[in-house]
Amino acid sequence: MKALRDNWLIQIEITNSCFLECDNCTRFIGHHKKPYFMKLEMIEQAIDSLEGFKGGIGIMGGEPLMHPDFIDICKLIQKKVPREKRYIWTSGYKWKHYRSIVRKTFEERVYYNDHQGNEQKHQPVLMAIEDYLKDRPFMKELIDKCWIQEKWSPSINPKGGFFCEVAAAMDILFEGPGGYPLEKGWWDKSPQQFQDQVERYCYRCSAALPMPPVFIKKGMDYVSCSNYKRLKDLKTPKFVKNRVECVEREYTKAQINDYAKDWQPWLYLGDEPRKSFYAMYGLFAGFLVAFGKKVRKRRNKIKECLHPSQKQSRP
Ligand code: SF4
């Protein structure tokens, strides 16, 4: 696993409310009875806790644009986070209304995915690996190279800091004990130092379990028996609406190794290209962002040549 300090980004998950309800959402949208909206003071505390972290700071949800204080949050980010470290993930809620402040705050570092393409996929994350495999050392081997932990991010939600964004969302869903207190440097951890969270969440999760791709518009969350029972006990809204299916089966090591051969769950957009800056911001503003990006890229290349140790790893 990757040390938290070496991740390219840490997310601040300002809400778990979303206007979409995709299947197998990594934030379990549709299962929460009452969404949270992180208070401005806590967002500021989260930013302050990341002082010294070399990677970026992401704003994510749910759908962050649904936060009632979204404009104030952007102003806070502008004040406290250096431009090149600001990122946001959105599905485009009231996009025309918010796109100008999004552009001014995050420029090209916007991941806009409307989740509408029929080819889009979500790897189910509630098919607990321990319900399908018996070989604990093999499970650990798979978890140790989990693509989400490798390529994506630790995260902060109202319950604290977590080594992994899915673990953070699980802690909320399953009413866990919470994350690390948001003290300065909480993220400066080696893999050995966050094993408590690994033990608590990774074996209930299926991100690390290779399997055939699942499209986001099937109308069902696929879960394993133990997680089915947990959702049933919690009477989550999606469970009550019969949108959860329990997948009962066993995998052999040979099957898993076979699935792993051409397994690329991080390519979740399918064949769909990313939205262009012109599509996001309009012709003129899109041109400015595209041009600004080119200039910044060139400037960074020169900087990296002069100071190679400051190079950031990116997915
Ligand atoms: S197995 Fe799940 S909880 Fe563990 S690191 Fe991967 S995504 Fe996070």
Q: Where are the alpha helices (DSSP H) in the chain?
A: 40-49, 70-80, 95-106, 129-132, 136-144, 147-151, 165-173, 195-201, 225-234, 237-240, 253-260, 277-281, 283-306
With a 6 Å cutoff on the Cβ, whether 172 touches ligand 1 is no
Locate the ligand 1 atom nearest the alpha carbon of residue 143 and give its number: 1
Ligand 1 pocket check for 155: Cβ under 6 Å? no
pLDDT for 310 beyond 70: no
CA atoms within 13 A of residue 263's CA, in its CB half-sphere:
19
Report whether residue 127 contacts ligand 1, using a CB cutoff of 6 Å: no
Measured between alpha carbons, how far is 80 from 83 in angstroms, rounded to an integer?
Answer: 9
The pLDDT of residue 7: 95
Q: Average pLDDT of the chain?
A: 93
Atom 6 (ligand 1): residue with closest C-alpha? Answer: 146
- Spatial distance between the Cα atoms of 224 and 177, rounded to a whole number of angstroms: 22
Ligand 1 centroid to Cα of residue 143, in Å, is 7
Backbone angles phi, psi at 86, to 5 degrees: -90, 130
- Quickly list DSSP for 219-232: S-EEE-HHHHHHHH
What are 204-213's pLDDT values in tens digits?
A: 999 999 988 7
Please compute the mean of the pLDDT values over residues 18-33 and round it to a whole number: 94
Query: From the CA of 120, how far away is ligand 1's center (Å)?
Result: 21
Measured over the CA atoms of residue 62, residue 63, residue 69 and residue 70, the dihedral's sign is positive
List the alpha helices (DSSP H) in 160-262. Answer: 165-173, 195-201, 225-234, 237-240, 253-260
Work out the burial of residue 273: count CB atoms within 10 Å of its CB; fewer than 13 is exposed, 13-18 middle, 19 or more buried: exposed
Q: Where are the domains of the chain?
A: 4-260, 277-310
Across 131-140, average pLDDT = 93
Question: How much distance in Å is there from the Cα of 91 to the middle of ligand 1?
Answer: 23
pLDDT of residue 312: 56
Mean local confidence (pLDDT), 255-270: 86
Dist. CA 62 → ligand 1 center (Å):
18
* Topology (CATH) of 4-260: TIM Barrel (3.20.20)
